[in-house]
């Protein structure tokens, strides 16, 4: 056994014999060094891994925080959207309420305007009745059966003055004749008729260049005012007054000898035309005063028994309204009674040259 082992031991010895202990030490040292370096490298890598893991973890935390914030913002966005929808709904409601209110305001404004109109007309009639109380200063009804007759005539209306004139005539219990147009308050034709005053035709437009262009043009305009009288008064008037009178020279500018032709043709058609023999002068100025009108009228009356007085009830002639009561009273003092013009009345023609 020993013999058997021996040779083996000697084989190992033999194997290590050539290597010195020093060389072994060097190899060992090199091995230790290699292991140390490897360990250090491993340690270093481990540290780096730990460090990287820490960074990832931190990044994950940050990401988580961002996500949370994002969730929060989404929630706020949702809230804002809801609020917007609510506000839009409220806006729609406000709009419809605004429309309702505007409609109501318009209705109220209409009512107010109606009320104001009513109030104004009531005030006017009150004022008028107060004015009417100032006259007459003579005894009415006027009792006069003498031969002197006065036909008071008013041209170019109706206007707001027509109603005042009717009131004055009523206060004296007398009647006049209105040669109407359609240039102002045409509907007051009804008031003239109701008050028992007479209505004559004076053309619808009172436009010289239009009515005196030809016979045809004149009658077309006359028919128009005649239709208005039928509409508002329910009568067909057969008395007329030519604008400017039958002796007017203006018509010559538009058609020669027209007035002569018209004077004949109106009578053929069943009309009677009336000029005047007393001019109140209220058309000679834009706004004549009452005293001017009185003075003009007095001198025009003279000693005539039958007088047809020309006056105007157009809107600008407030002086005519002011003059009327004293004019009536002066004429009464001179022995005149008052009549309306009819187809049976005396003729008042200027004579056409």
Q: Which residues bind Zn ion (CB under 5 A)?
A: 155-156, 243
Q: How far is the CB of 98 from Zn ion (least distance, A)?
A: 54
Which of residues 156 and 339 has its CB atom nearest to Zn ion in the complex? 156
Task: Report residue 80 as tokens.
Answer: 């804002």
Q: How far is the CB of 131 from Zn ion (least distance, A)?
A: 26
Whether the CB-CB separation of 157 and 188 falls below 8 Å is answered with yes
Q: How far is the CB of 176 from Zn ion (least distance, A)?
A: 15
CA distances for 68 relative to 78, 209, 332, angstroms: 15, 93, 110
Which of residues 283 and 301 has its CB atom nearest to Zn ion in the complex? 283
Query: DSSP assignment of 223-268, as one string?
Result: HHHHHHHHHHHS----EE--TT-TT-SGGGGTSTTHHHHHHHHHHH
Please state, in angstroms and rounded to a whole number, the distance separating the CA atoms of residues 109 and 105: 6
Strand partners, 309: 152, 278
Which of residues 155 and 275 has its CB atom nearest to Zn ion in the complex? 155
Q: For 307, phi and psi rounded to 5 degrees?
A: -120, 140
Cα pseudo-dihedral 12, 17, 23, 27, rounded to 10: -10
Q: How far is the CB of 244 from Zn ion (least distance, A)?
A: 7
Q: How far is the CB of 243 from Zn ion (least distance, A)?
A: 5
Residue nearest to Zn ion (CB): 155
Which of residues 164 and 206 has its CB atom nearest to Zn ion in the complex? 206
Task: Report residue 95 as tokens.
Answer: 């709009």
């Amino acid at each position: 056994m020993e013999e058997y082992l021996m040779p083996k031991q000697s084989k190992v010895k033999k194997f290590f014999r050539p290597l010195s202990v020093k060389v072994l030490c060097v190899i060992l040292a090199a091995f230790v060094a290699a292991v140390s370096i490897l360990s250090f490298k491993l340690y270093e890598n481990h540290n780096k891994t730990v460090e990287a893991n820490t960074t990832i973890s931190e990044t994950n935390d940050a990401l988580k925080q961002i996500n949370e914030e994002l969730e929060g913002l989404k929630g706020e966005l949702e809230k804002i959207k809801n609020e917007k929808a609510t506000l839009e709904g409220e806006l729609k409601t406000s709009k419809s309420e605004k429309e309702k209110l505007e409609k109501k305001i318009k209705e109220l404004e209409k009512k107010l305007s109606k009320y104001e109109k009513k109030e104004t007309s009531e005030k006017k009639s009150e004022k008028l009745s107060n004015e009417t109380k100032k006259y007459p200063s003579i005894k009415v009804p006027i009792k006069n059966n003498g031969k002197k007759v006065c036909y008071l005539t008013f041209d170019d209306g109706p206007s707001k003055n027509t109603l005042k004139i009717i009131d004055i005539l009523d206060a004296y219990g007398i009647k006049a004749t209105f040669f109407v147009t359609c240039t102002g308050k045409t509907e007051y034709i009804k008031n003239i008729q109701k008050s028992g005053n007479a209505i004559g035709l004076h053309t619808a437009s009172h436009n010289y260049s239009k009515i005196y262009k030809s016979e045809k043009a004149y009658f077309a305009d006359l028919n128009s005012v005649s239709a208005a009288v039928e509409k508002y008064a329910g009568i067909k008037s057969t008395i007329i007054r030519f604008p400017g009178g039958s002796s007017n020279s203006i018509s010559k500018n538009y058609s020669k000898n027209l007035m002569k032709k018209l004077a004949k043709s109106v009578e053929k058609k069943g009309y009677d035309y009336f000029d005047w023999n007393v001019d109140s002068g209220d058309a000679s100025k834009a706004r004549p005063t009452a005293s001017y009108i009185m003075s003009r009228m007095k001198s025009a009356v003279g000693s005539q028994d039958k007088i047809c007085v020309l006056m105007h009830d157009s809107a600008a002639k407030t002086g005519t309204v002011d003059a009327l009561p004293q004019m009536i009273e002066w004429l009464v003092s001179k022995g005149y009674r008052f009549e309306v013009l009819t187809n049976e009345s005396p003729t008042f023609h200027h004579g056409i040259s």
